[in-house]
Amino acid sequence: MPKTQKKQFVMSVIVTKSYQYYLRSTHSILVILGCILCMTSCAEQYNISGDSSVSTLDGRMLYLKAPNISTASMCNLDSCEVIHGKFSFMGMVDSVTLGELFMDNEGFMPIVIEKGNISISISNTEQKVVGSQLNDRLYRFLEKKNRLEEEIMNLSNMEAQWILSGMHPMIAHRRVAEKTNRMYNELEDLETDFIATNSNNILGATFFNMLCSKYPYPILTSQINKIMKRASSNFKNNPVVRTYIQAAETNMKLIENSGN
């Protein structure tokens, strides 16, 4: 088989296997959630109170949603109207889950739903959830991640400003490129550390899946290898994680063999 045709065939195999991986992963997620619910003997109450300084939210309906086991979609746990900047949710949960706050059909705030009293604050400049260890970890991470991503987006403006101030375009471009690489490495280290340190709770597996979903098919990157080296055995044995790694290893072998 000619080399070009061989590569096309390999990519075809990878895409097909990737779709199969997606189907298996979706099924695995439902199985995991189902097992958790079955093993939990009693539900526990959560209480969520919110404050908003955004005047346009007054009178609007907010919805607290979480993954649905049977439909693989988000389902309503509770809803409330924002009145004079105040809102609240209350209910029972069988296990810790990562939900989201919705307005109309758009989700805009992730929240770890678990036993206890949780507080949400919404302003024009910040959205934050506090009151539990996992929510505190989640929003410290999101704050740092958003800051880095915003700084990276502003680098192109910095290059233009340097050039306008008299710096040679090639020097300005090189400096911005160096700074961009440093910041992307910092962002990658932040993501890696967050997933690895939370590999024993819902945040680790959830953000690992989000990280891997940006690739067109399962592959092994240096970042994923770093995560797997640091992650707990429970994380490595998670059916969804294990399925991804197995599919990625197969794809990497196919890619390697296509170059021979």
* Three-class HEC string of the chain: CCHHHHHHHHHHHHHHHHHHHHHHHHHHHHHHHHHHHHHCCCCEEEEEEEEECCHHHCCCEEEEEEECCCCCCEEEEEEEECECCEEEEEEEECCCEEEEEEECCEEEEEEEECCEEEEEEECCCCEEEECCHHHHHHHHHHHHHHHHHHHHHCHHHHHHHHHHCCCCHHHHHHHHHHHHHHHHHHHHHHHHHHHHHCCCCHHHHHHHHHHHCCCCCCCCCHHHHHHHHHCCHHHHCCHHHHHHHHHHHHHHHHHHHHCC
Q: Give the rounded percent of residues in the chain with a pLDDT score beyond 70.
A: 82
Q: What is the pLDDT of residues 186-221, one digit of tens each?
A: 999 999 999 999 999 999 999 999 999 999 999 999
Residue 19 has pLDDT above 50, yes or no: no
Domain spans of the chain?
A: 43-131
The pTM of this model reads 0.78
- The CATH superfamily holding the domain 43-131 is Immunoglobulins (2.60.40.10)
The arithmetic mean of pLDDT across residues 218-228, rounded, is 96
